[in-house]
Structure 1
Amino acid sequence: MTDEQLTDAQPGVGEVASDEAPARGIPNGVDVARALEAIFMVVDEPQSVVGLASAVGRPVKEVRAAIAELVADYDGNGAAGGPRRGFELREVGGGWRIYVRSELDDVVRDFVHTQNPSKLSQAALETLAVIAYKQPISRGAIASIRAVNVDSVVRTLLGRGLITEAFTDSETGAIHYETTDLLLVQLGINSLDELPKISPLLDDGSEGFDDVR
């Protein structure tokens, strides 16, 4: 038996239960690849194959095949022979997520900057401050500090080019964020070391951000 056959015959920990479709999932007759595509359009974090299998109620092996189909489709190598898309389905940190193709990053960044000149909300400013002083930091850690859900705010900051994905934790799959050079330009400073000290503004400066930045 080959390694590939052995892998399919003996799924990893957490995959066994997913090989039997749970009660929830997509209706019979609905294309698995299209269902996954819909999920990828709304998620903010890379999604594991096991988690996706649970969401659509299909075996892990079938979901893997559907993902491969989407990858080929977006790359212009699908059965229908369509064009190469401006986005791709990429595996990052053990999960899958749709990303803009790297060669189009500048185009998207320029569009966002020119089409969205509005000021940041108070929530966005507060989240940006947490990232600036605590980077690299995960979305969960940001939410813990602010005690609110920060998903939409993080998307806004990413779209504005003020923060970027620094790395993905290999164990948890959590994306960690850091600020970009654009933030320095917008603030008119040369480095993060020029940010004002937080401690004097807190009731107890010893618990401020300054010592951990």
Structure 2
Amino acid sequence: MDADKSLSELEAIIEAILFTMGEAVELERIAAATEQDEDTCRRVIRNMMDKYDREDRGIQVIELDGAFQMCTKAAMYESLVKIAHVPKKHVLTDVLLETLSIVAYKQPVTKLDIEHIRGVKSDHPVNKLLEYGLICEAGRLDAPGRPILFATTEEFLRNFGIGSLEDLPIVNPEKIEDFKIEAEKEAQLELDI
């Protein structure tokens, strides 16, 4: 650590950076701005995270896939909506959740892949998830037609309280088979009616 900067001064600088940016900031950018190495910055940020968790504070620092963001704690929502405009709540229907799950676990994935897994057209759910900012275009597949690849966003991680994609629950293949069998039985019952 630079002898010219004390730990408390470095913490204040990082706090100001995170507060001002209002979005997730990569560790390397924080290190460059503070003229410190990444390990020192990571230690200071972890200390800040612990401090905000221990104290009765309305804010917290969260880690999102190797980047850090300052935000309000979820417990403060009710108080905040009284003073701020109520944010538009996005309703995630079963179809949207199913599509989002496919993108999260299979990313990067094309719309054709999503439709193959779901068994139905997926224009609407993909467009809604793009509109909600939960998925984004992540490039194009090197194949005929160059279809768009979709992946989840930081907004997805933030909304679901996930630090990185590695934190997603592991899906048991046997449960998937059970689910497929159950879905086929339900579909058959609907056809028999």
TM bucket (normalised to shorter chain) is 0.3 to 0.5
Q: Where is the helix percentage greater, Structure 1 or Structure 2? A: 2
**TM-score of the two chains, using structure 2 as the length reference:** 0.44
**TM-score of the two chains, using structure 1 as the length reference:** 0.40
